[in-house]
Structure 1
Amino acid sequence: MNQEIDALYERYQGYDIFTPLDNLEKMTIILEDRRYFNHYGIDCRSIVREVWKAATFCQHGGASTIEMQFIRTVNSRRELTMYRKFREGLLALLANFHFNKIALLRSYLDIAFFGSGLIGRHRASEVMYDKAVYELSPKEAAVLASMLVYPKPLHENPVWRAKVERRSNYAIRLLPQFEKRFEQIKMC
């Protein structure tokens, strides 16, 4: 396990953590992990919530933090087991002691799957909007962040567009209440 953390360190040690969050980073936090800056890779509140839902036979899912999603993407492990979740949580916890939260977020977005042929935020931004990531409007960024849950299919369809639009509108509605939190974040 330590070898995996060391490999990540080699790859991402030079990340610029002093640049303010861009719109895509903000929207990803809003949609994927609202308590991102309040935990160390494992969000205990989300875990308790999802266990309660499962115990009461309600629809459940989630509880993965951005760090856990990053670890899953790097490792390419998809099996649906408690062992995998435990391992992701442990690696996410270890990653938080080796890396800055901003570097972890940016690293995840650089390798995230946004849909067919869209690996990484730069490629997704270029293909979807013909813009650099830092030029995206909040609405455009919200659409890309929504594609982390609803990746773009090879052939777009109205059902996919409606799901992405609904999720991105939700992020836009939440943005004002998160802006103050984003301004308070220390970059180092």
Structure 2
Amino acid sequence: MAPIARSRRPARRRSWLRRILGWIVRLVLGFILLSLLMVAIYRFVPPPITLTQIGDITEGHSLHKDWMPLSAMDPDMARAAIAAEDGNFCTHHGFDLKAIEKAFKANEAGRRLRGGSTISQQTAKNVFLWQGRSYLRKGLEAWFTVLIEHLWGKKRIMEVYLNVAETGIGTYGANAGSQRYFHHDASRLSPTEAARIAAILPQPAERAAIAPQGRVLRYGNRLVRRVGIVQRGGYDRCLR
């Protein structure tokens, strides 16, 4: 009987391995199907809430957001976002390899930490994921970036980005930011106002769109000039 008992152990191990592998396959397939479903729905429906917004609520902040279609928003807002965040937005397929390489070299050289994320990557992170730095989040961000580039297209990506990006503590979207800072909606932003909103996008909790000072003021003034360059150079052609 002893030899028979020993012979069953490898079979039991193989059975457990098959079960574990089966669950892993189910989880992966479930995640793929769920992510495809969410991306497909958000192609037409505004995301109701994001993990970042939930974080604001748990910290006691009230949310201020007011969805505005890209077609109703002043075109200078999208141009300012391109000038500030992603000059190659209309030509890349979700990832700007040159910008990533520049960011990597700058960080390796010990200069001010900077990222190489495109607007597409930032949209994927803001809508589907959480803030912070980790290999897991970056991997998921890449997956969702590929999905929205193929299923949404550039206009929808920009529209969602300009409606979910944080523009102040508890304030999300260019329209809510415009109402908060300039007391009118984003349909009639001036180039200066659009540039000031774009200038605070990287650090909305630390930068001011009203009466900006120092580096933020200088950066905003540069962005005002770049808005015209984006328009004349056709860097926003995928949004027209």
Report the TM-score when normalising by structure 2.
0.67
Distance (Å, rounded) in 2 between the aligned partners of 1:43 and 1:91? 15
Of 229, 236, 240, which aligns to 1:177? 229
Change (3 A) 1:138 1:5: farther
1:7 maps onto 2:38 in alignment = yes
CA contact (8 A) 1:124 1:144 kept: yes
Give identity over the alignment, percent: 20
Q: Secondary structure at the match of 2:181?
A: helix
Structure 1, gaps ≥5 residues long = none
Q: Deviations over 1:31-79 (max 9, x none)?
A: 0001101111111111122222333333342101111111111134123
Aligned to 2:187: 134
**1:18-43: per-residue Cα shift (whole Å, max 9, x none)?**
67861111100100001101111111
- For 1:77-156, what aligned pairs fall within 5 Å after superposition? 77-152=130-205
Deviations 1:76-114 (A, max 9, x none): 412312332232123212210001101101101111111
Would the aligned equivalents of 2:70 and 2:158 in 1 still touch at CA under 8 Å? no
- Report what 2:93 is aligned to: 40
Shift of residue 142 of structure 1? 0.5
Which deviates more, 8-17 or 56-65? 8-17
| Equivalence for 2:7 | none
Residue of structure 2 aligned with 1:64, choices 117, 120, 132: 117
In angstroms, what is the RMSD of aligned CA positions?
3.0
Alpha-carbon distance between aligned partners in 1 of 2:229 and 2:239, rounded to the nearest angstrom: 20
> How many aligned residue pairs are there?
187
* Contact 1:139/1:168 (<8 A) preserved: yes
Question: What is the CA-CA distance between 1:152 and the residue it aligns to?
Answer: 4.6
Higher relative contact order (CA 8 A, sep 6+): 1
Query: Which stretch shifts more, 3-12 or 137-146?
Result: 3-12
TM-score, normalised via structure 1 length: 0.84
Contact 1:66 1:108 in 2 (8 A): yes
C-alpha separation in 2, matches of 1:160 and 1:23: 19
Give the direction of change, closer, same or farther, for the CA distance of 1:81–1:115 in structure 2 (3 Å limit).
Answer: same
